[in-house]
Amino acid sequence: MKIKNNKVTWQENSAKNITFIVTKDCQLACKYCYLVGKNEKERMSFDVAKAAIDYILDRENEKNFDTESVIWDFIGGEPFLEIDLIDKVCDYIKQEMYSRNHHWFNSYRFSFSTNGINYDSEKVQKFIKKNKSHLSIAITIDGTKRKHDLNRIWKGDGSGPERGSYDDVVRNIPLWQSQFPGVGTKVTISSADIPYICESVLHLYDLGIHQVNINCVFEKVWKEGDDKLFEEQLMMLADTIIDRDLYIENSCSFFSEDLGKPLDCKLQNHNWCGAGKMLAIDAQGNFYPCTRFAQYSLRDKEAWIIGNIHDGIDNNKLRPFLTLDRCTQSTPECADCEVAEGCAWCQGENYDAAKTHTVFERATAICLMHKARVRANNYYWNKLYRKLELEGTREEFENQKPKSNDIIC
Amino acid sequence: MKKYYQYIVILLDDTSVSYCHADNPLKEKRLIPLEVLREAILFSMKENLMIQFVYPEYELPKEYNDLIETIDHIKIGKDVLVYDSVPTNVERKNVVLRLAIADFLAKQYDIALLLPKVTRLNISITDIENFKDELIEDYRTALEMLNSVLLNIYKGGNSPEINILTDRLRLNEMHNCDAGVENITLAPNGKFYLCPAFYYDEQMGVSTRMNHKTKDASRSVGDLEVGINIPNKQLLELERAPLCRICDAYHCNRCIWLNQKLTWDNNTPSRQQCVMAHIERNASRDLSNKLKDTGFVLENEIKEINYLDPFDVKEEF
Ligand code: SF4
Ligand code: SF4
């Protein structure tokens, strides 16, 4: 029996993640999009990107930049709207890493999260062919048509009816899967999506997407009773995955064995999110600890700018991020929580929701949802193990235990 | 051990002297209303808080002086004199000296001349943000020089204190400013602040650039009517400061206002603050060893360490 593993992403621990916010524009206006300040004007120029690259590559041996590998990430808005710029920037990165004999030349990746709408365009396809061996591309598709179209709608002027984008994306899935076989997709769940979770995950499996990374938004959007509905959906999903043997070929990040145990404040005290270890750059050439700290992602707080391409990084502004640990930012309830393992947070949302100017106040809007997930997850593993036991395949399964791969932001 | 409020700082006027890192930018006189002062004293008595009154340069009206004398207190700006440049002579034995780092380095020999004249000298650097790594050696040698002067005075039988060199000698746990935790400030507007610097920031509108996007620039944490109410108070405590809780520069001010100004988080110190405090800590260690060699009994052992910024070695803890 071959069991599908939740793959650990490429060079996950040893790679520096550098994100270019190339545009704040997008063809869609997804209802859950956390980007409160999207607009059509702020597009990155090549000169800004070049200055950032020079700054970064000049610091090959500095602590911030001495990781084994690098992921050059391009996001938006919709990054492929700026494919000409991206192509030029990627060429420059390759040239510079090569001519400087930079150690990253042996270990780099260009990474994209796209809405998939212009995936098949000539320019995007040309870019893919040129860089294929160094590319990760994730297309976001939320599940069934009705679920996807509930949130992922075309931008309109408000006069006509809402138009969903499912058909415009799904037609590109076969091409994407043929070019990047086995690559997963990322699904984000908000309150209104809960009734569609089970059908959506199954639909994605049907489309040939075998790895579904799914998570609840961290914002305070949950209504009373959502946790119960959520639990029901996950139980339904668990039953279907197990009864139809779907766990053999597929994975869903909602079910993970590393979930729902208490955590120790000394031995298991690491921070969840990589803000501060990553670096994001916007069109003005400002640096951020992560894109979620740029003004267009923040509701209530000022942007957390840690420097810019002219003056460099002010390391003082990074110190809070690089000293963060789990228990310091947690309430006593979270520190002592019986099911804390796998309960995630987003540092940007923590900052945005905090009472004061700090990244040390953990937002817990997700609390009941996590507890519901833990219950369903326990059910899943108990049921699956019993089945495997009866089939005599448990040992084989345990030997190939899937690793967890919670992609949370 | 959990800490509780021990004392209150009452700013008698908007132009009350600044006695710490932050300059007082307020130039217009605004005397605390007599009624507010009365309430503040009552509050302090009921909460069992020691009072430090901070004086402006001008003389207070008689009714103020009479009211102040109804309660035990310390007068900052009077009992404790505050200087913004190195005086040649001092009228009191307890002195605060506020200097920019460049002035401290330039005037180090004048400071040495003050040492025999005081019982306590508090040095407060007013531009810690300007302390670059290139100044490490200069600061170290300045403290070395002051150490040798101190040693001679100690041998002669006097033992003046200077915060950056002698405080660490006897400490074996953190002893920081503890604004908001062990002490609280009351401004002339009748509101509480973590320390005077937060009041100045509010009055100058600095907080609007720093804090929430809301129009409310207030940095106050309560008033005499509702009491003290500090949001995220736990983040002011040592246990919630990941660097400071592993650190043994016990004399360090651990200034939360500077933290916020330079790192944007109250509980995270800047490199500058840490490096300066560690140069001082290491100088205290030298002084301690030399005093012991001379026959002084000091119980504390200050370890030799190989870093100046706990941030650089945080993984080792
Ligand atoms: S948010 Fe809730 S589930 Fe998560 S660790 Fe805290 S108490 Fe536990
Ligand atoms: S030296 Fe730095 S880490 Fe140590 S107490 Fe002072 S501010 Fe905190």
Average pLDDT by stretches of 10, chain B with 317 residues? 90 97 96 98 97 97 98 96 94 92 98 96 97 98 98 95 97 94 97 97 75 64 95 95 96 96 95 98 98 93 96 88
The answer to whether B213 touches B289, Cβ cutoff 8 Å, is: no
**Cβ(B97)–Cβ(B111) below 8 Å:** yes
Indicate whether A405 pLDDT > 60. no
Q: Whose CA is nearest to atom 2 of ligand 1?
A: A367
Nearest-CA neighbor of B118 among B165, B80, B75, B155?
B80
Q: Are strands B222-223 and B192-193 parallel, antiparallel or unpaired?
A: unpaired
* A407 has pLDDT over 90: no
Q: How far is CA B210 from the centre of its chain?
A: 22
Distance from the Cα of A354 to chain B's closest Cα (Å) equals 9
* pLDDT at residue A8, rounded to an integer: 46
Integer Cα distance of B227 and B224 in angstroms: 5
Is residue B77 lining ligand 2, measured as CB closer than 6 Å?
no
Strands A251-252 and A211-216: parallel
Of A304, A325, A356, the CB nearest to B231: A356
Q: Please name which of B250, B256, B280, B252 lies closest in space to residue B268, comparing C-alpha atoms.
A: B256
Residues from chain B contacting residue A300 (CB–CB below 8 Å): 212-214
Share of chain A above pLDDT 90, in %: 76
Residue B150 token pair: 């101190």
Q: Looking at A43-57, A68-82, A264-278, B244-258, which range is the least confident one? A: A264-278
Between β-strands A108-114 and A69-75, what pairing exists: parallel, antiparallel or unpaired? parallel
CA of B257 to the centre of ligand 2 (A): 13
Q: Parallel, antiparallel, or unpaired for β A312-313 and A307-308? A: antiparallel
* Residue A354: DSSP 8-state: -
Give exposure, A164-180, as e/b (b: 16+ Cβ within 10 Å).
bbbebbbebbeebbeeb
Q: Closest by alpha carbon to A256, among A33, A69, A405? A: A405
**Domains of chain A, first to last:** 15-252 (3.20.20.70), 279-365 (no CATH)
Helix B271-293 with B136-155: angle, nearest 10 deg: 30
Neighbour tally for A129: CB within 10 Å:
10
Structure tokens that stand for A66 in this block: 């001495």
Question: Distance, in angstroms, between B33 CA and closest chain A CA?
Answer: 30
Give the pLDDT score at B38.
98
- Is it the case that residue A57 has pLDDT exceeding 80? yes
Dump strand ranges (E) for chain B: 7-11, 50-54, 73-76, 81-83, 94-99, 120-125, 161-162, 183-186, 192-193, 222-223, 227-228
**Residue B271 to residue A328, Cβ atoms within 8 A:** no
Question: CA-CA distances (angstroms) from residue B292 to A276, B119, B287, B288?
Answer: 45, 21, 8, 6
CA gap B281, B267 in Å, rounded: 20
* Angle separating helix axes B163-170 and B136-155, nearest 10 degrees: 70
Q: Tell me how far apart the 2 most distant CA atoms of chain A are, in Å.
A: 65
CA distance A43 to A46: 10
How would you classify residue A322: left for phi > 0, otherwise alpha for psi between -120 and 50, otherwise beta? Answer: alpha
Mean pLDDT of A98-112: 97
> Which residues in chain B are contacts of A325 at CB distance < 8 A?
242
Q: How far is A231 from chain B (nearest CA, A)?
A: 33
Work out which ligand 2 atom sits closest to the CA atom of B246.
Answer: 3
B1 or A12, higher pLDDT: B1
A324-356 residue pLDDT tens = 999 999 999 999 999 999 999 999 999 999 999
DSSP letters for A173-240: HHHHHHHSTT--EEEEE-GGGGGGHHHHHHHHHHTT--EEEEEE--SS-PPTTHHHHHHHHHHHHHHH
Residues 6+ apart with CB under 8 A from B309: B271, B274, B275, B278
Neighbour-count burial of B254, counting CB atoms closer than 10 A to its CB (0-12 exposed, 13-18 middle, 19+ buried): buried
The answer to whether ipTM exceeds 0.90 is yes
Confidence bin at A4 (pLDDT 50/70/90): low
DSSP string over B149-207: HHHHHHHTT---EEHHHHHHHH-SS-----BTTTEEEE-TTSBEESSHHHHHHHHHTHH
Distance CA B151, CA A132 (A): 70
Partner residues linked to A112 by β-bridges: A74, A137
Q: Give the residue from A25, A118, A4 showing the smallest Cα distance to A78.
A: A25
Distance CA A301, CA A52 (A): 25
Q: How far is the CA of A397 from the centre of ligand 1 (A)?
A: 30
Helix axes A226-243, A367-391, angle to 10 degrees: 20
> What's this model's pTM, rounded to 2 decimal places?
0.92
CB A38 within 8 A of CB A254: no
Helices (H) and strands (E) in chain A, counts: 14, 11
Pairing state of beta strands A185-189 and A135-139? Answer: unpaired
Query: What's the pLDDT band for A37 if we cut at 50, 70, 90?
Result: low
**Ligand 2 centroid – CA B253 distance (Å):** 8
* pLDDT given at position B192: 98
CA distances, A148 to each of A31, A137, A190, A408 (Å): 11, 19, 12, 19
Q: What is the residue-averaged pLDDT of chain A?
A: 91
The SS3 assignment for A14 reads coil
pLDDT digits (tens, 9 = 90+) for A85-96: 999 999 999 999
Q: Are B77 and B55 in contact (CB under 8 A)?
A: yes
H/E run at residue A134:
none
Element (H, E) at B260: helix B256-263
What pLDDT band is residue A409 in, cutting at 50, 70 and 90? very low
| Closest atom of ligand 1 relative to the A370 alpha carbon | 3
Q: Does B243 touch chain A (CB under 8 A)?
A: yes
Torsion of CA B89, B94, B98, B101, to 10 degrees: 80
B282 CB contacts (<8 Å, ≥6 apart)?
B140, B305, B308
The pLDDT value recorded for residue A2 is 52
Whether the pLDDT of residue A151 is over 50: the answer is: yes
pLDDT of residue A38: 59
